[in-house]
């Protein structure tokens, strides 16, 4: 229970810092919304994706970009605590050691959940519609939360090892561009051979395809299991790496 109590206390502190940084919240949410506006209203008419509005086709990819945009600040906040000496101060206090990391991780989960809701609301205003039932929506939310958790623990690693603030925050930005080489915005069969092979076998495509099928009330096939396998594998590897680095830093 000590871990839960200490994590809750540090989580409250971290959330207060997030709410005071309005520019961070706006930037995290604004980037994927701008991409969505550009793709729908500038490129959407030129991209053939079958029936239905283009915003419904590309929303899953935008949701992944929202998560990628948000986790960059997890690395930055953790790096800031280390550089400001707050990290060492916490370690000198009688608290559960792992509560420091869990507070940052849970803060990322909450902040990203808020951003995802905002993006979905904007997509609804732009014409996104889904007849998915409660089970399909719960499955989609579960995939997004699992992905957010996996990428957040991945973001902890540069937060612990970066030498500069730019190095810590830059981690998430390459992830913003991974959806462009996937089925997020255009069908993979329109891509040249080698690029198509990469796009069809990278994690973003299976996650996007699973979310798209859930929203459209279509059979998900093996995509959902592939997506869950990718998210779980990334989570296990990232958690193990982050905990190992954290213990070395404490020793």
For the stretch 4-31, pLDDT in tens is 777 787 778 777 777 776 666 777 778 8
90 pLDDT above the threshold of 70: no
237 pLDDT above the threshold of 90: yes
Give dist(CA 230, CA 213) in Å, integer.
Answer: 17
Give dist(CA 243, CA 214) in Å, integer.
Answer: 34
**125-164 residue pLDDT tens:** 998 988 888 999 999 999 999 999 999 999 888 888 888 8
Contacting residues for 82 by C-beta, under 8 A, at least 6 apart:
159, 160
Cα Rg, the chain, nearest whole Å: 19
63 pLDDT above the threshold of 90: yes
What integer pLDDT is reported at residue 88 of this predicted model? Answer: 67
Mean pLDDT score, 71-89: 76
Dihedral through CA 127, CA 224, CA 108, CA 124, nearest 10?
Answer: 10
CB atoms within 10 A of CB 177: 10
Closest Cα partner for 73 from 160, 189, 155, 193? 155
What integer pLDDT is reported at residue 39 of this predicted model? Answer: 84
235 pLDDT above the threshold of 70: yes
- The percentage of the chain sitting over the pLDDT mark of 90, rounded to a whole number, equals 30
What integer pLDDT is reported at residue 91 of this predicted model? Answer: 67
What integer pLDDT is reported at residue 71 of this predicted model? Answer: 84
40 pLDDT above the threshold of 80: yes
Two tokens, residue 179: 């959806």
Give residue 251's pLDDT band: very low, low, confident or very high (50, 70, 90): low
- The percentage of the chain sitting over the pLDDT mark of 70, rounded to a whole number, equals 90
> Looking at the 3D structure of the chain, how many domains does it have?
1
> Domain containing 36: what range?
2-250
Global pTM reads: 0.89
**Terminus-to-terminus CA distance in the chain, angstroms?**
24
Q: How far is CA 64 from CA 118, 154, 221, 239, in A?
A: 13, 15, 20, 20
Q: Is the pLDDT higher at 244 or at 11?
A: 244
């Amino acid at each position: 229970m000590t871990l839960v109590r200490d994590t809750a206390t540090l989580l409250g502190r971290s959330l207060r810092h997030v709410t005071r940084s309005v520019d961070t919240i706006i930037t995290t949410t604004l980037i994927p919304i701008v991409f969505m506006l550009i793709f729908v209203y500038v490129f959407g008419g030129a991209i053939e994706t079958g029936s239905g509005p283009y915003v419904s086709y590309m929303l899953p990819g935008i949701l992944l970009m929202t998560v990628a945009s948000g986790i960059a600040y997890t690395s930055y906040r953790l790096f800031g605590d280390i550089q400001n000496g707050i990290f060492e101060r916490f370690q000198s206090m009688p608290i559960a050691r792992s509560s420091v990391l869990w507070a940052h991780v849970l803060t990322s989960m909450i902040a990203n959940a808020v951003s995802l809701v905002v993006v979905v609301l904007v997509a609804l205003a732009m014409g996104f519609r889904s007849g998915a039932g409660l089970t399909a929506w719960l499955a989609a939310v579960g995939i997004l939360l699992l992905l957010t958790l996996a990428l957040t623990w991945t973001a902890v690693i540069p937060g612990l090892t970066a030498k500069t603030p730019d190095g810590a925050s830059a981690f998430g930005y390459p992830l913003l561009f991974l959806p462009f080489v996937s089925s997020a915005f255009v069908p993979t069969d329109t891509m040249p051979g080698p690029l198509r092979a990469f796009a069809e076998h990278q994690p973003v495509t299976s996650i996007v395809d699973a979310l798209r099928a859930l929203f459209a009330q279509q059979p998900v096939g093996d995509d959902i299991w592939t997506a869950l396998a990718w998210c779980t594998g990334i989570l296990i590897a990232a958690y193990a790496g982050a905990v190992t680095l954290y213990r070395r830093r404490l020793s």
